[in-house]
Amino acid sequence: MQIQTMLSLVYALLLLLSNLSLTIQVLGLEPAPAPDSGDGAGLDSIEFAPNSPPLEETSSITVRWCAVRDEFLGCRNYVDQLNQTGDFELKCVRKETVQECLDSIKSGEADLITLEPGLAYVAFINYSMKAIGNEVYCNHAESYEAVAVVNKKVCKGKGDISLMDFKGMRSCHGGYGTAMGWNYPINRLKMMVNFEDLNDSELVKEFFSSVCAPSEFKGMGVCSGCGNENGSCHSDSVYSGHMGAFRCLIEELGDVSFVKADTALLYSLEGPYNQTWSTKSISDFMYLCPQGGCREINGYPGTCSFGSIPANVIMASNSISSVKKSAVQQMIQNTTWTSALYTGQNEANHLLSSSAQGLAVVKKLTRTYLGTSASISQSIQELNKKKVLNSPSSGNTASDAPSSSKLCAKHRCVLAILSIMLLGIIFSTVST
């Protein structure tokens, strides 16, 4: 009888401990797992489990390239050429935003996407993707410069004019979260001004009177200067991308445009890819140097640059099969592809940037390839994390709420006390 009673008490103890542990987990009182370091070191060497069961490899390999909006036209053009020479089938998957493409790759619907380095960092950190190829530009360059372009008239007689002189003026950006259009200039701004506890969007809106920076991610754009009365802009805005940011400057919606070094050359009145809105000559614009002063636009800004950015990359899921990855890398080195680029069939930034003259296989780890661009992207993301942590609405300040670790410690004490009490009852029962 005593043994039976003891077993019943032990069972009751285990049941109580189990219920208390479950309560702690449901209430979210267990300490959060250690956050990712953000450097992504070694992620490329890890094969992550695919989000859906992988298809069995067959003799016929299908590679699906995710194309955003008008990129689909360029994708179909390359498909027609490459499918005639390759030993695999290339297909195009059309989506409306980069975010939709990243989600489709994560779900296994698509395999590849071309991204500029700022968005490539997002894909690397948030979607477990890696770089397997990159664009190659004139003179075999595998990088380009981030610059600010302004109207020439604002530079006249102002040898020491700098970005600080544009405080309270209007800005055009080649996309929220992009390296050349957002991360590099915002990184420069945060070193110049003392706007504590502001995230990236707030910092920009505090410095400029209006901002046009459409985003490929829902709800992330800063659009007060994009010409819409309601202050909204979509990813398919005519002012999206570096071409759109230069158009924003030409149409006088902004006073400074943050773009690639060759953007003004390509899309000005005399440019090889001029558009219907290209109504101004290249001589009407100048580079605005970060350290002060202006410089004539020739495509090579030298020190009049916010920094060098690695070439745009072809990104794939970390779980891509070795067979499919090999097929993609063979495709990248296909001479038919290079010939298509040289013959001007990519003039409207369809799939690859209009500056691309070839492709190369990325042989480095993604974080290493992105280099300084990744570090700057990370610093911009930390601005946003800092804002969340300092927000009164977060409910985690020392003044109004105990930390989860303290709560958890208290519950562990309760469990220990209850355990001792029940063990005392058990021994008391056995001894009698």
Confidence of residue 429 (pLDDT cuts 50, 70, 90): low
Residue range 280-312, pLDDT digits in tens:
999 999 999 999 999 999 878 989 999 999 999
What is the pLDDT at residue 393?
A: 39
What is the pLDDT at residue 290?
A: 93
Question: Distance between CA atoms of 175 and 250, rounded to whole angstroms?
Answer: 17
What is the pLDDT at residue 407?
A: 38
**Nearest residue to 337 via CA among 80, 71, 35:** 80
Residue range 31-59, pLDDT digits in tens:
333 333 333 333 343 333 334 334 444 45
Residue range 83-136, pLDDT digits in tens:
655 667 888 999 999 999 999 999 999 999 999 999 999 999 999 999 999 999
Question: Distance between CA atoms of 49 and 142, rounded to whole angstroms?
Answer: 31
Residue 279 has pLDDT above 80, yes or no: yes
- Per-residue 3-state assignment (H helix, E strand, C coil) for the chain: CHHHHHHHHHHHHHHHHHHHHHHHHHCCCCCCCCCCCCCCCCHHHCCCCCCCCCCCCCCCCEEEEEEECCHHHHHHHHHHHHCCCCCCEEEEEEECCHHHHHHHHHHCCCCEEEECHHHHHHHHHHCCEEEEEEEECHHHCCEEEEEEEEEHHHCCCCCCCCHHHHCCCEEEECCCCCHHHHHHHHHHHHHHCCCCCCCHHHHHHHHCCEEEECCCCCCCCECCCCCCCCCCCCCCCCCCHHHHHHHHHHCCCCCEEEEECCHHHHHCCCCCCCCCCCCCCHHHEEEECCCCCEEECCCCCCCCCCEEEECCEEEEECCCCHHHHHHHHHHHCCHHHHHHHHCCCCCCCCCCCCCCCEEEECCCCHHHHHCHHHHHHHHHHHHHHHHHHHCHHHCCCCCCCCCHHHHHHHHHHHHHHHHHHHHHHHHHHHHC
Residue range 363-406, pLDDT digits in tens:
999 999 999 999 999 999 988 876 444 444 333 333 333 333 33
Question: Distance between CA atoms of 155 and 151, rounded to whole angstroms?
Answer: 7
Residue 67 has pLDDT above 70, yes or no: yes
One-letter identity of residue 109:
E
What is the pLDDT at residue 251?
A: 96
Is the pTM higher than 0.95? The answer reads no
Instruction: Provide the mean pLDDT of the chain.
Output: 78
Task: Considering only residues 404 and 171, tell me which one the structure prediction assigns the higher pLDDT.
Answer: 171
Asked if residues 204 and 172 have their Cβ atoms less than 8 Å apart, the reply is: no
**Residues, the chain, total?**
432
Residue 273 has pLDDT above 60, yes or no: yes
What is the pLDDT at residue 170?
A: 98
Q: What is the mean pLDDT of residues 242-250?
A: 95
Q: What is the mean pLDDT of residues 176-203?
A: 91
Question: Distance between CA atoms of 181 and 248, rounded to whole angstroms?
Answer: 13
What is the pLDDT at residue 388?
A: 46
